[in-house]
Structure 1
Amino acid sequence: MFELKQSEEILKDKRRLRWACRRGMVELDVLFLPFTEEVYDDLDERQQALFRRLLTCDDPDLFAWIMGHQKCEDEGLKEIIQVLLARVKV
């Protein structure tokens, strides 16, 4: 019973995460949604927390950081952006 409840919570969290990946910019959607589906579960807990925190940032900042137009000053966010970009280049 505990495992079933735990599985339900994981699914709920994943649905929330997918919803947070839906952005106002299609350029971000095409990065975040596949990353969530294909990579997120393989990240360690710290990196998952960084990705969730990244999703709380404003779209213009995210776009500027990902495209290299601006430098992200937050070391943790910079790390998860590099993980995201490395995955996209594969």
Structure 2
Amino acid sequence: MSDEQDIDRKRLYWHSRRGMWELDLLLVPFLEARYDALPAADQVRYRELLASEDQDLFTWLMRREWPQDPDLRRIVMMIVEHAETTDRDRRQTL
């Protein structure tokens, strides 16, 4: 990873850390586990998602409603799916 990529990754990590613990528990693990393997278009969507307000992110990631924008909806659904899969896998190993 180049220095520029490393800086970009650290920036994404800190932008993924929000003012709400619930958001941190969903965004940071997704970034760490899935972001690098995403197609470039989905990486852009993730960055765009991070520009959203915490209250909107909370509503979307808690599945109370979905974003109107289909691109944001796509990445939110990927994050929710990742969290559900990770949780299911964790429970199976207990």
| TM-score of the pair, normalised by structure 1 | 0.89
Match of 1:40 among 17, 35, 41: 35
Count residues with an aligned counterpart.
85
Match of 1:31 among 8, 26, 42: 26
Separation of aligned partners in 1, 2:64 and 2:77? 14
Q: Secondary structure at the match of 1:57?
A: coil
Q: Percent identity?
A: 39
1:72 matched to 2:73? The reply is no
Cα deviation, residue 66, structure 1: 1.4
2:80 corresponds to which residue? Answer: 85
Report runs of 4+ in structure 1 exceeding 4 Å deviation. Answer: none
Deviations 1:2-46 (A, max 9, x none): xxxx71111010000001011010000011111111110000000
Q: Secondary structure at the match of 2:52?
A: coil
**CA RMSD across the alignment:** 1.1
Q: Can you give the 5+ residue segments of structure 1 that lack an aligned partner in the other structure?
A: 1-5
